Amino acid sequence: ANYVIPIAGTFGDTGQFAVVIVTDDQVVVNATIDPYITFTITTNTVTLTKSGGGNPSYTSTGYNQGAANTLAAATNGATGYTITYNGATLTSGAYTIDAMAVKAVSSTGTEQFGINLKDNAAPNTGAEPVGGSGTPAADYNTVDQFKFVAGTTTTLASAAAPTATTTFTVTYIVNVAAVTEAAAYQTTITYIATGNF
């Protein structure tokens, strides 16, 4: 309603002022923020060569050099995201190179194919994750140790809460035995980023 309030007193002046009190004096403001997840992969072709160049051998580890293969993920989802991978080991027709089913160091003279997400010294390649709060899974978060689970969807990295972009650099290594068949080996690995629910 409208109210008129008089003013008077011993100060020698008088007057009045009006006050309006409305029934609903509050404004409810609404906004909906949509969930999002982003995932970017750079360098979609990786060639594994030995230090200084050339094909790997039973005395020289092959690894990715030059332009890095990176995975960058971010989300505002309350429970974060998970990055997984799936793919076969290096294969050429009937020939295969053993995947590193258990996390281990690079060992020349032994068939190995593995990956990690660290800045390694042996071989000297890779980088630490940068930005955000994403972290590699335990099997891919140790310097100079590698693993690859062939043919099974496997967790590679994750974040447990909303996070800005974390960029992971993937290191790939290959070692061969003296009797590993001479051939051109290849695999295709699929990476998937999924929001956690």
Is residue 111 within 8 Å of 98, Cβ to Cβ? yes
Q: Using one digit for the tens of pLDDT, what is the confidence trace for 15-49?
A: 998 998 888 889 999 999 999 999 999 999 999 99
Q: Using one digit for the tens of pLDDT, what is the confidence trace for 59-78?
A: 999 999 988 999 999 999 99
Provide the 3-class DSSP secondary structure of residue 152.
Answer: coil
How far from chain centre, in Å, is Cα 90?
23
What average pLDDT does the structure give for the chain?
A: 96
Provide the 3-class DSSP secondary structure of residue 114.
Answer: strand
Q: What is the pTM of this model?
A: 0.88
Least confident of 4-8, 47-51, 85-89, 141-145: 4-8
Q: What percent of the chain has pLDDT over 90?
A: 89
| Rounded Cα–Cα distance for residues 54 and 26 (Å) | 73
